[in-house]
Amino acid sequence: MSDEGVKIGLETHVQLDTETKLFCDCPNNTEGTPAPNTSTCEICLGMPGSKPVPNQAVIDYALQTGLALDCAIHDSIVFSRKTYFYPDMSKNFQITQYEDPIARNGTVELDGMEIGIRRVHIEEDPAKLDHVGGSMDSANYTLVDYNRAGTPLLEIVTDPDFTAPEEARTYLQKLARIMQYLGAYDPERLTIKSDANVSVNGGNRVEIKNITGTREIEEALKHEIQRQRRAYRNGKDVPQETRNWDPDAGVTRSMRSKESEEDYGYIVEPDLIMIPVSEDAVQSADASLPELPDEKRSRFLEEHGIEKELADALITDPALADAFEESVEAVGADMAASWFSGPIKKTLNYHELTYTESPLRSAWIVTVLAKLDDGEISDQAAETVIRELVENPREPEAIIKEQGLEKAGGDEIQQFVEDVIEENPDAVDDYNSGDENAVNFLVGQVMQKSQGSADPKEARELLIEQLSS
Ligand SMILES: [Zn+2]
């Protein structure tokens, strides 16, 4: 997987799933609704005399994230002002953490390799700029929405330990999942954005800004590595600079020569006192950590004896994983794992729903799988019921009755088989002249006639018996 001579480090900003903003009581995550600039107050607009008050929920999530990433926790929380002048920050500074981040020196395990976590720190998001009629360079005018100003972010910085774009993507997926398990991040409503530092063959480091999500990262990095390689092959230099990723064009573009952190004036935020983090607080945060994705996978393998690929699919959605476990007792781990990681997950993906967002209930699924296990319905019928439970939810028994999905009895199948043989003389001739595939066609016809209620194995046996007599 590794790409010769490539070094990548990531700085990732994750929007946190809290009720209110970082330093005021304005609601968080209201982008788009309500109207722009109505979810604001004197604190998040930075009016003179206003005093920020830290949101405890943000501190708790930051602490838990730091612990989940095996970091050392700093003994206090100190905020700094990062001074810059730009319309997205009306007070002309951003409150962030600089010298002493809440957590540092962690690791994330990635398919046998270790990615170093340099630091995890809390900061506020600036306002959102809406470049109307084009990009930053070509827009007719730009609107500012301060609803996002002051909302909480966690910045997670890695060491330059990635050697290929795929690794960066896998890491981001893992990070997002860990934070989802902590309840700190909701992939459906919130965003995760990364800046990446990339160099090849010991050359200059180029920073790529604003790569959104967990999938775009791979494409952006692949493109940038190719661009740098091409430059070196043509005898050109790769200057140290900051580039912007344009996902629509699939290219990175030069923004500015790289500024250093010293170019920003950092001062300790005088309006916020230092918050001590006691050893007890760290221990109780550690004790309150939920079971994390890696632990859940290991436990599924050990306790339920299922295949690793199925476990991987199940842990992508914590609620799906819980529902899986609830049905293990009723129908056994193998059947539950293959249905939850297969047809159930496929149906949810098709409708772009998480398990929680869907109307599915584990009791319904247990009913369907138990009927399948008892031979009352076929695989095909079970899939139909599951689709129906998502699309038009009601009791599974009602669906089975309405749609006549109960498995056809022996006499019924016999009748279907006789009808199908009578209606398809060509296929029967083909079979009699040695074309074994003709039987597959006839089984298909029986299945169609029975609307999936026939057992295909039984139908095949009856057909062959009938045709050979
Ligand atoms: Zn506010």
In a domain? residue 262: yes
Task: Name the pairing type of β-strands 206-212 and 241-246.
Answer: parallel
Q: How far does residue 53's CA lie from ligand 1's centre (Å)?
A: 10
In a domain? residue 289: no
Q: How far does residue 395's CA lie from ligand 1's centre (Å)?
A: 45
In a domain? residue 291: no
In a domain? residue 293: no
Q: How far does residue 46's CA lie from ligand 1's centre (Å)?
A: 9
Instruction: Kindly report, residue by residue over 358-411, the tens digit of the pLDDT.
Output: 999 999 999 999 999 988 898 889 999 999 999 999 999 999 999 888 877 778
Measure the CA–CA gap between 244 and 129, rounded to whole angstroms: 16
Q: Which uninterrupted H or E stretch holds 198? A: strand 192-200
Out of 369, 402, 435, a domain closes at 402
pTM for this prediction: 0.83
Q: Does residue 171 sit in the same domain as residue 136? A: yes
Q: Which uninterrupted H or E stretch holds 15? A: strand 6-15
Range(s) of the domain holding residue 450: 410-468
Q: Does residue 158 sit in the same domain as residue 78? A: yes
Looking at residue 32, what is its pLDDT? Answer: 61
Q: Are 66 and 102 in contact (CB under 8 A)?
A: yes
Q: Where are the extended beta strands (E) located within 344-393?
A: none
Q: Does residue 349 sit in the same domain as residue 398? A: yes
Question: Which CATH number does the domain housing residue 443 bear?
Answer: 1.10.10.410
Looking at residue 440, what is its pLDDT? Answer: 92
Task: Identify residue 312 by its one-letter amino acid code.
Answer: D
Q: How far does residue 248's CA lie from ligand 1's centre (Å)?
A: 34
Enter the DSSP assignment of 262. G
Our count of domains for the chain comes to 3
Q: How far does residue 357's CA lie from ligand 1's centre (Å)?
A: 29
Q: Does residue 319 sit in the same domain as residue 206? A: no
Q: Are 53 and 167 in contact (CB under 8 A)?
A: no
Three-state DSSP class for residue 206? strand
Q: Does residue 43 sit in the same domain as residue 92? A: yes
Q: Are 171 and 194 in contact (CB under 8 A)?
A: no
Looking at residue 238, what is its pLDDT? Answer: 92
Task: Identify residue 260 by its one-letter amino acid code.
Answer: S
Q: Does residue 352 sit in the same domain as residue 314? A: yes
| Residue 467, CA atoms < 13 Å, CB-side half-sphere | 26
| Residue 368, CA atoms < 13 Å, CB-side half-sphere | 31
Q: How far does residue 42's CA lie from ligand 1's centre (Å)?
A: 6
Q: How far does residue 54's CA lie from ligand 1's centre (Å)?
A: 12
Q: How far does residue 63's CA lie from ligand 1's centre (Å)?
A: 23
Looking at residue 396, what is its pLDDT? Answer: 94
Q: How far does residue 73's CA lie from ligand 1's centre (Å)?
A: 28
Measure the CA–CA gap between 137 and 143, rounded to whole angstroms: 14
Q: Does residue 248 sit in the same domain as residue 364? A: no
Q: Which residues of the chain have pLDDT under 70?
A: 1-3, 30-32, 257-262
Measure the CA–CA gap between 46 and 2, rounded to whole angstroms: 46
Q: Does residue 125 sit in the same domain as residue 240? A: yes
Q: Does residue 361 sit in the same domain as residue 421? A: no
Q: Does residue 247 sit in the same domain as residue 372? A: no
Q: Does residue 107 sit in the same domain as residue 235? A: yes
In a domain? residue 45: yes
Q: How far does residue 94's CA lie from ligand 1's centre (Å)?
A: 14
Task: Name the pairing type of β-strands 6-15 and 192-200.
Answer: antiparallel
Q: Does residue 350 sit in the same domain as residue 444? A: no
In a domain? residue 55: yes
Out of 402, 429, 460, a domain closes at 402
Q: How far does residue 43's CA lie from ligand 1's centre (Å)?
A: 5
Residues 281-318 as b or e (16 or more Cβ within 10 Å = b): bbeebeeeeeebbeebbeebeeebebeeebbebbbbbb
Looking at residue 257, what is its pLDDT? Answer: 66
Q: How far does residue 281's CA lie from ligand 1's centre (Å)?
A: 28
In a domain? residue 294: no
Measure the CA–CA gap between 28 and 44, rounded to whole angstroms: 11
Looking at residue 73, what is its pLDDT? Answer: 98
